[in-house]
């Protein structure tokens, strides 16, 4: 696993805040808008925002057949399929439970890397790190959520989204050799997603038959598209460049922590001992998967001995 730099850790924490907010935005939007419409609006509005940034900044883009194919694949694996599955699941289960299920992404990522690549195999360190992290997420959200009696199909749907996120991390490795900027990658995959989803939205949701939503769902969709998607994917691909897909998948373990802190800061929610205990376990998982602290302790013990 590639070592994490300070810049990569800072970007990872910022990304966790942006994606942690996506669960809130979806929870607000799903009250007034159908699933596929939310997913399409998220992709289309985010794509427009990114193309505007590319045009304003005159960002050079090197498009090739390989880059187009990579963007289409990333759009399906990283947007269309997982977003549809997760939003569908969130229509029936609490956002906290959705966060727990989404936090299985590192498990799927390391297994996919082990099966589909030759240079990133499973080891005890990765397995232990993910186990600590998942234990922390469960403690942070609270066991009561797990006993909520949420529909099994909705839970399996969110798990399916996490599986495709894991596969997307492996697929995204091919962007390294294509010379496309992170901004171009994000805009390309979101454009491919919105083009694919448009006819599906028209056929399934028939948006012309829907009532005009209020300002709250509209604001939520804008936040979902601009903050939790457009900005988040620029950061996503930057972390991928710096640290690789296995480290990138750690963001799913940080999302519940970010959500709890945002609730405390914005909604005046109180943090309990369970929140701190969960954060400690998640921190232990991150340290275990990163490996640098363990290697330092080994070297120190050897020198002392």
Name the residue with higher pLDDT: 189 or 112.
189
* CA–CA dist 5, 247 (Å, integer): 11
Buried b (16+ CB within 10 A) or exposed e, 68-106: eebbbbbbbbbbbbbbbbbbbbbbbbbbbbbbbbbbbbb
* CA–CA dist 51, 54 (Å, integer): 5
Name the residue with higher pLDDT: 105 or 148.
105
* CA–CA dist 242, 274 (Å, integer): 33
Lowest mean pLDDT among 65-69, 134-138, 270-274: 270-274
Q: What pLDDT score was predicted for residue 204?
A: 93
pLDDT at position 271 over 80: no
* CA–CA dist 157, 204 (Å, integer): 19
pLDDT, one tens digit per residue, over 114-162 is: 788 777 677 777 788 778 877 877 776 666 554 455 577 887 898 899 8
| 109 contact partners, CB below 8 Å, separation of at least 6 | 165, 166, 169, 170, 245, 246, 249
Residue (of 221, 126, 222, 220) closest to 166 by Cα position: 126
pTM above 0.85, yes or no: no
Domain ranges, ordered by start, for the chain: 14-122+149-251
Q: What pLDDT score was predicted for residue 147?
A: 47
């Amino acid at each position: 696993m590639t070592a994490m730099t300070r810049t990569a850790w800072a970007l990872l924490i910022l990304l966790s805040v942006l994606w942690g907010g996506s669960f809130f935005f979806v929870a607000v939007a799903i009250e007034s808008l159908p699933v596929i419409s939310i997913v399409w609006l998220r992709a289309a509005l985010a794509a427009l925002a990114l193309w505007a940034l590319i045009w304003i900044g005159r960002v050079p883009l090197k498009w090739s057949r390989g880059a187009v194919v990579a963007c289409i694949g990333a759009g399906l694996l990283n947007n269309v399929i997982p977003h549809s599955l997760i939003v569908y699941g969130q229509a029936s289960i609490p956002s906290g439970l959705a966060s727990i299920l989404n936090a299985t992404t590192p498990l799927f990522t390391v297994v996919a890397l082990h099966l589909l690549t030759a240079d990133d195999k499973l080891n005890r360190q990765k397995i232990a790190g993910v186990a600590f992290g998942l234990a922390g997420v469960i403690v942070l959200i609270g066991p009561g959520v797990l006993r909520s009696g949420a529909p099994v199909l909705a839970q399996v749907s969110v798990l399916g989204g996490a599986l495709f996120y894991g596969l997307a991390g492996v697929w995204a490795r091919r962007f390294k050799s294509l010379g496309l900027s992170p901004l171009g990658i994000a805009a390309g995959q979101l454009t491919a997603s919105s083009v694919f989803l448009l006819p599906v939205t028209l056929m399934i949701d028939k948006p012309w038959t829907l009532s005009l939503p209020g300002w709250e769902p509209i604001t939520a969709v804008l936040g979902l598209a601009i903050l939790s998607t457009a900005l988040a994917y620029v950061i996503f691909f930057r972390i991928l460049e710096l640290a690789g897909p296995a480290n990138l998948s750690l963001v799913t373990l940080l999302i519940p922590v970010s959500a709890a802190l945002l609730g405390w800061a914005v909604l005046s929610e109180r943090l309990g001992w369970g929140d701190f205990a969960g954060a400690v376990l998640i921190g232990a998982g991150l340290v275990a998967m990163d490996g640098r602290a363990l290697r330092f302790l080994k070297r120190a013990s050897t020198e002392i001995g």
